[in-house]
Amino acid sequence: MTTTVGRPGTLAATLADTEAFTDSAVNGADTAADTAADTAADTAADTAADTAADTAADTAADTAADTAADTAADTAADTAADTAADTAADTAADTAADTAADTAADTAADTAADTAADTAADTAADTAADTAADTAADTAADTAADTAADTAADTAADTAADTAADTAADTAADTAADTAADTAADATRRPTLRLRDRLVRLAELAVTPLLPSDFLDVVDPLLSGADLRGRIEAIEPETADAATITIRPGRGWRGHVPGQYVRIGVDVDGVRQWRAYSVTSPADRSDGRFTITVKAIPDGVVSNHLVREARAGTVIQLDQATGEFVLPTPAPRRLLFVTAGSGITPVMGILRSYAAELADVVVVHSAPSRADVIFGADLAELAADDRITLTTIHTDAEGLLDTERLERLVPDLAERETWACGPTGLLDLLEEHWAARGFADRIHTERFRPTIVVTGEGGRVSFTRSGTTVEADGATPILDAAEAAGVLMPSGCRMGICFGCVLPLREGAVRDLRNGELTTAVPGDGVRIQTCISAAAGACHIDH
Amino acid sequence: MTVLQKKADNPIAHLTPEDIEQIGIELDAIRQDVIDTRGARDAEYIRKVIKTQRTLEMGSRAILLVSLFPPAWVVGTVGLSIAKIIENMEIGHNVMHGQWDWMRDPKIHSTTWEWDNASPSEQWKHSHNELHHTYTNVIGKDNDLGYGIMRVDEDQRWVPMHLGQPLWNFLNACFFEYGIAAYDLELGKNLATPERRRDPEFRARAKQVLRKIRRQATKDYVIHPILSGPSFLHTIAANFTANLVRNLWTHSVIMCGHFPEGVETFERRSIVGETRGEWYLRQMLGSANISGSTAMHFMTGNLSFQIEHHLFPDLPSNRYQEIAPKVKALFDKYDLTYTTGALPVQVGSAWRKIIRLSLPNDFSVAALVRRTPTSRAAA
Ligand SMILES: Cc1cc2nc3c(=O)[nH]c(=O)nc-3n(C[C@H](O)[C@H](O)[C@H](O)COP(=O)(O)OP(=O)(O)OC[C@H]3O[C@@H](n4cnc5c(N)ncnc54)[C@H](O)[C@@H]3O)c2cc1C
Ligand code: FES
């Protein structure tokens, strides 16, 4: 036990140690042995006496029963308590110290404490229970001569072993684990870090079962320590149905590489919806903000909300930026960007960051009409400054871009490393063409549409962890279909009220059998669904 | 339909099977109405409640740092008691019912929520959501009927232990959170035999409960008192009082849900093959409301709309008040009794029942006199 009196930062240190301190003060190894012995002796004596008396009435003499019961109870209780306490304490301390030391060396004190506690508790409990039970049973069996004695011995041994093992193991494990973790942590940490960790630990103890971040959220949802979030600071229209949204990310934001996207969680009609949007601002923006540019699509839940309804000041959920649609270093000398519609967004992010450094850039961008061109002015300016060679195609008047035209526009296409982003049709076309020409590896594409969800009747349901796949029809709850296929499913009322059957839907679509409502999930979502009232409406991946 | 049929004044004798299915259809429509209009307003409501509760709790605990001063003690204790009640009732209970799962916010979700209570949420959800709500008031299936220690219906068999049930009930009220934890662990059953005691699953769950209790107690009785410095003991007293007040309040409210006179209980075999309409009907007759002000409804976690809650346990609690008139109209239309009353009346009614049923059904002084051999000898 690390006592902390007289050390720097003692208030926090003392307080953070308090849990361990109370444990050990109240339930130290001595106390454990005492308590175990007392409890075991009492319980064992009672139980043994009762059982022995009963059995003796039928089989043995009263004396035998008394003696057997007494002896068995005493011996069993003593031995069990001693052995259990000792073994538990030793094993717990050893295991805890080892594990804690190892773990603490490279992880936080928390991890060490957890691991140590778990391992110690398990090992201690097992060993203590085994040893106690064996010893108690042996000793008792020797002393007793007949059925009464056997019964007494068994019962006494069981009870004594249980009680002693529990008390001793718990206490010893807790104390040992705490101490070991503390010591290990102390040994590997600088004092300032230790103080900070202790303050965090203290805060955790003070707000359990919540987390300190739950209370930080009340103060300011963007503080560090809270989940990553952002605040919408401005929404500026780009075209009639597209807008650029400026986001101030919370403290944990690690920035982005131009071309990457960020997943944001927006509450639309009270329901959290996650979508991906490419970052359109340059990477080195000095004020720490970043922008995304959203095009509202017909019936699009999130895009319409962001473009038309969202207001500055709204707090949104954020994920760290990610994505492979980025330029390598060093950047290729000659580049081609083929974009259409909102597909310009990641490319704009790249151009705004690197245009000055890139030597030879061709941009071929399609949009229905002049008014629909997102970033039209920015592109024109880059072209005017000779940073890029720009071709804009207005597809309403000129028709969709085809590869023949592209080859004409960019005669040296074969020598250019190409990045393309736009509707599925365009990207499929380009990939086929590049493959046909034998340089499929020189085109990089970014797709905005998630894997298209088939919302027919029924579908193949796969369970990611157990690896089982089930063919479920559209009228059978996933719960029933999965159980019929031998999957161990959580369940409760089986009628949609208890939520005992809720599992995360990683990808796919399910239909609520009660109202036909469709719930869809794209990779990364993990929408929680009630399997007992949900039927597959297409292929589903369920995390279970 | 076999529910209640054996009662002398069968409250549903006048209903045809078609009526019962029609009730189900009408209730489904009420439910769908709420689901269709569920949205930003509701989300804002629960977030505001959570924010207010956390602010109140932080504020009260801050005031209690100087609980040495009597006014601070009183204000802090009242604030903390209210905060704890809101946390358990309007937030914890309802979130764990999945009432807010539709928001898809992992921080306000039945599968992630943990509450300020001795019973770990996972265990509580099993015994409450799965058992109590599915088998509401079915004798022998719904352990909430007397929590396994009391007799709250004439049809439950009397044993001498029930003589003490007014006392058990009072103690249970004072330490309700531990009562709930013991109940969720099915402690009585699981301690009965060595096999059950040794069952690894039971042990794991017991350990989970002990860990939770230890954390809760460390918070209320060690950490915050130490932070209070010279007010150490005063803060312990304040936190103990807040827990006691919360326990007494939640116990009273919950007792009003199913124990008052007028609430029906059901036989085990009556629910075999139950249809959705019949299930609804059982919820309608097996629950009782509490009438009162909006503030009162809020402090009960809207469990004052116990009937509506039991019909639609997963609808957001802020909507119960809104649909109550429609539900009441349905009761009237089908000539069923919508049991409701003011809190003191319902609490009194529940207590009277508990005291009455602590004695055997046929108990009367005359019967006692007739039965005892001494009195026969004297006669
Ligand atoms: C990596 C990545 C980056 C992205 N970057 C951007 C970006 O910078 N700007 C931007 O505006 N969007 C971007 N998206 C698309 C964005 O994530 C959403 O899919 C889009 O905003 C539509 O969402 P919604 O909620 O409005 O539509 P939903 O309500 O999800 O869909 C409504 C209907 O539209 C269909 N639909 C879905 N997506 C599209 C689409 N792209 N085009 C046409 N129909 C569609 C759906 O199948 C459905 O029928 C990106 C997507 C990905 C995967
Ligand atoms: S098992 Fe009850 S909601 Fe699914």
Residues A56, A177, single domain; the answer is: yes
CA-to-CA separations, A321 to A250, A280, A306, A447, in angstroms, rounded: 13, 12, 19, 16
Q: Of A446, A474, A508, at which residue does a domain stop?
A: A446
A268-305 burial, b if ≥16 CB within 10 A, otherwise e? bbbbbbbbbbbbbbbbeeeeebbbbbbbbbeeeebbbb
In whole angstroms, what is the distance from residue A220 CA to residue A228 CA? Answer: 12
- pLDDT tens-digit readout, B56-109: 999 999 999 999 999 999 999 999 999 999 999 999 999 999 899 888 788 998
The mean-pLDDT minimum among A133-147, A516-530, B191-205 falls in: A133-147
Calculate how far, in angstroms, residue A295's C-alpha sits from the geometric centre of ligand 1.
Answer: 8
DSSP letter at A184?
Answer: H
Q: Does any domain span residue B248?
A: yes
Residues A86, A165, single domain; the answer is: yes
Q: Give me the residue label for tokens 């002896």.
A: A71
CB A37 within 8 A of CB A164: yes
pLDDT band at residue B369, thresholds of 50, 70 and 90? Answer: low
Mean pLDDT of B262-286: 88
Q: CATH code at A351? A: 3.40.50.80
Residues A492, A425, single domain; the answer is: no
pLDDT at residue A456, rounded to an integer? 54
Type of residue found at A109: A
Which of B356 and A115 is assigned the larger pLDDT? B356
- The total domain count for chain A is 4
> Is A336's pLDDT higher than 50?
yes
Chain A residues touching residue B215 (CB < 8 angstroms): 205, 208-209
pLDDT at residue B135, rounded to an integer? 87
Residues A362, A311, single domain; the answer is: no
Q: Does any domain span residue B366?
A: no
Domain that holds residue A533: 459-542
Q: Does any domain span residue A502?
A: yes
pLDDT band at residue A449, thresholds of 50, 70 and 90? Answer: low
Query: Are B129 and A493 inside 8 Å of each other by CB?
Result: yes
Instruction: Tell me, rounded to whole angstroms, the distance of Cα A508 from its chain centroid.
Output: 20
Calculate how far, in angstroms, residue A482's C-alpha sits from the geometric centre of ligand 2.
Answer: 14
The mean-pLDDT minimum among A5-9, A166-170, B4-8, B216-220 falls in: A5-9
Residues A466, A436, single domain; the answer is: no
Mean pLDDT of A471-489: 84
Portion of chain B with pLDDT greater than 90, in percent: 71
The mean-pLDDT minimum among A38-42, A103-107, A164-168, B92-96 falls in: A103-107
Q: Does any domain span residue B362?
A: no
Mean pLDDT of A83-99: 41
- Distance between A313 CA and the closest CA of chain B, angstroms: 15
pLDDT at residue A363, rounded to an integer? 98
In whole angstroms, what is the distance from residue B324 CA to residue B340 CA? Answer: 12
Q: Does any domain span residue B287?
A: yes
Neighbours of A520 (CB within 10 A): 17
Calculate how far, in angstroms, residue A303's C-alpha sits from the geometric centre of ligand 1.
Answer: 7
- Distance between B22 CA and the closest CA of chain A, angstroms: 16
The mean-pLDDT minimum among A127-141, A251-265, A404-418, B14-28 falls in: A127-141
Mean pLDDT of A75-98: 41
Mean pLDDT of A241-257: 96
Residues A176, A290, single domain; the answer is: no
- pLDDT tens-digit readout, A361-403: 999 999 999 999 999 999 999 999 999 999 999 999 999 999 9
- pLDDT tens-digit readout, A264-303: 999 999 988 878 899 999 998 999 999 999 999 999 999 9
Q: Does any domain span residue A521?
A: yes
- pLDDT tens-digit readout, A509-532: 999 888 888 899 888 778 999 998
The mean-pLDDT minimum among A92-101, A225-234, B215-224 falls in: A92-101
Chain B residues touching residue A527 (CB < 8 angstroms): 104
Q: Does any domain span residue A501?
A: yes
In whole angstroms, what is the distance from residue A138 CA to residue B321 CA? Answer: 66
Q: Does any domain span residue B115?
A: yes
Q: Does any domain span residue A213?
A: no
Pairing of strands A389-394, A360-367: parallel
Phi, psi of B312 (to 5 degrees): -130, 70
Which of A123 and A233 is assigned the larger pLDDT? A233
Pocket lining: A297 vs ligand 1, CB cutoff 6 Å: yes
Q: CATH code at A274? A: 2.40.30.10
CB B20 within 8 A of CB B275: yes
- Distance between A410 CA and the closest CA of chain B, angstroms: 47
In 3D space, the residue among A458, A468, A465 whose CA is nearest the CA of residue A534 turns out to be A458
In 3D space, the residue among A504, A539, A544 whose CA is nearest the CA of residue A524 turns out to be A504
pLDDT band at residue B46, thresholds of 50, 70 and 90? Answer: very high
Predicted complex: ipTM over 0.85? yes
- pLDDT tens-digit readout, A42-67: 444 444 334 433 433 333 333 333 33
- pLDDT tens-digit readout, B335-360: 999 999 999 999 999 999 999 999 99
- pLDDT tens-digit readout, B125-165: 988 988 889 888 888 788 777 777 888 888 888 999 999 99
In whole angstroms, what is the distance from residue B318 CA to residue B100 CA? Answer: 11
- pLDDT averaged over chain B? 90
Q: Which atom of ligand 1 is nearest to the CA of A345?
A: 8
Portion of chain A with pLDDT greater than 90, in percent: 44
- The total domain count for chain B is 1
Beta-carbon contacts of residue A28 (< 8 Å; ≥ 6 apart): A171, A175
- pLDDT averaged over chain A? 73
Pocket lining: A489 vs ligand 2, CB cutoff 6 Å: no
pLDDT at residue A424, rounded to an integer? 85
Q: Does any domain span residue B373?
A: no
Residues A68, A134, single domain; the answer is: yes
Which of the given ranges, A80-89, A203-212, B211-220, has the highest pLDDT on average?
Answer: B211-220
Q: Of A275, A293, A318, at which residue does a domain stop?
A: A318
Query: What residues of chain A have any CB closer than 8 angstroms to a CB in chain B?
Result: 14-15, 18-19, 22, 121, 155, 158-159, 162, 170, 202, 205-210, 214-215, 218, 227, 267, 269-273, 492-493, 495-500, 502, 515, 527-528
> Is A261's pLDDT higher than 60?
yes
> Is A23's pLDDT higher than 50?
no
pLDDT band at residue A38, thresholds of 50, 70 and 90? Answer: very low
Mean pLDDT of A143-170: 41
- pLDDT tens-digit readout, B285-337: 999 999 999 999 999 999 999 999 999 999 999 999 999 999 999 999 999 99
Q: Does any domain span residue A225?
A: no
In whole angstroms, what is the distance from residue A529 CA to residue A537 CA? Answer: 13
Q: Does any domain span residue B371?
A: no
pLDDT at residue B374, rounded to an integer? 46
In whole angstroms, what is the distance from residue A264 CA to residue A510 CA? Answer: 23
> Is A186's pLDDT higher than 70?
no
In whole angstroms, what is the distance from residue B224 CA to residue B208 CA? Answer: 23
DSSP letter at A145?
Answer: -
Q: Does any domain span residue A133?
A: yes
pLDDT band at residue A192, thresholds of 50, 70 and 90? Answer: low
Q: Of A413, A446, A479, at which residue does a domain stop?
A: A446
Chain A residues touching residue B134 (CB < 8 angstroms): 492-493, 495, 497-498
Domain that holds residue B278: 2-357
Among A275, A293, A305, A520, name the best residue to mutate to test ligand 1's pocket (greatest count of ligand atoms within 8 A of Cβ): A275
Residues A348, A283, single domain; the answer is: no
pLDDT at residue A65, rounded to an integer? 37
pLDDT at residue B285, rounded to an integer? 93
> Is A85's pLDDT higher than 70?
no
Residues A32, A121, single domain; the answer is: yes
Which of A333 and A97 is assigned the larger pLDDT? A333
Residues A395, A488, single domain; the answer is: no
The mean-pLDDT minimum among A184-188, B109-113, B252-256, B347-351 falls in: A184-188
Q: Does any domain span residue B367?
A: no
Q: CATH code at A480? A: 3.10.20.30
Query: Are A497 and B129 inside 8 Å of each other by CB?
Result: yes
In 3D space, the residue among A533, A534, A532, A502 whose CA is nearest the CA of residue A520 turns out to be A534
Tallying the residues shown for chain A, one arrives at 544
Q: Does any domain span residue A453?
A: no
Residues A121, A27, single domain; the answer is: yes
Pocket lining: A491 vs ligand 2, CB cutoff 6 Å: yes
Residues A114, A27, single domain; the answer is: yes
In whole angstroms, what is the distance from residue A404 CA to residue B84 CA? Answer: 71
